[in-house]
Amino acid sequence: MTKSDGKVMASFLVRRIFLHLSFLFFTSACFGNDHESILKGIRDNLLAISPEMPIEVIAGSEIPWLFQISLKDGSILYADKNGHFLFAGQIFDMRSGRFNNLTEKSRKKIRSDLLSLSPESEMVIFPSKTPEPLATITVFTDIDCGYCRKLHREVAMLNQLGVTVRYLAFPRAGIGSDSYEKIVAAWCSKDPKDALTRAKLGEDIGDLYCDNPIEKQLKLGERLGVSGTPAIFFEDGTLQPGYIEADEMATRLGIR
Q: Is 172 a catalytic residue?
A: yes
CA trace torsion 48, 54, 57, 59 (10° rounding): -50
CA 113 to CA 134: how far, in whole Å? 21
Domain boundaries, the chain: 3-109, 120-253
User: Cα dist. 37→41, 52, 82 in Å?
Assistant: 6, 21, 11
Catalytic site residue from 43, 111, 145, 149: 145
Q: Given pLDDT bands bounded at 50, 70 and 90, which one contains residue 82?
A: confident
Catalytic site residue from 111, 142, 144, 149: 142
Q: Is 145 a catalytic residue?
A: yes
Q: Is 44 a catalytic residue?
A: no
Element spanning 3, H or E:
helix 3-20
Q: Is 188 a catalytic residue?
A: no
The DSSP output letter for 26 is: P
Report the length, in residues, of the chain: 256
Q: Average pLDDT of 17-27?
A: 38
Catalytic site residue from 107, 144, 148, 149: 148
**Who contacts 129 (Cβ-Cβ below 8 Å, separation ≥6)?**
159, 160, 162
Instruction: Note the CATH architecture for domain 120-253.
Output: 3-Layer(aba) Sandwich (3.40)
Question: Does 29 score more than 80 pLDDT?
Answer: no
Element spanning 45, H or E:
helix 35-49
Question: Does 161 score more than 90 pLDDT?
Answer: yes
pLDDT score at 118: 93
pLDDT score at 20: 40
pLDDT digits (tens, 9 = 90+) for 180-232: 999 999 999 999 999 999 999 999 999 999 999 999 999 999 999 898 999 99
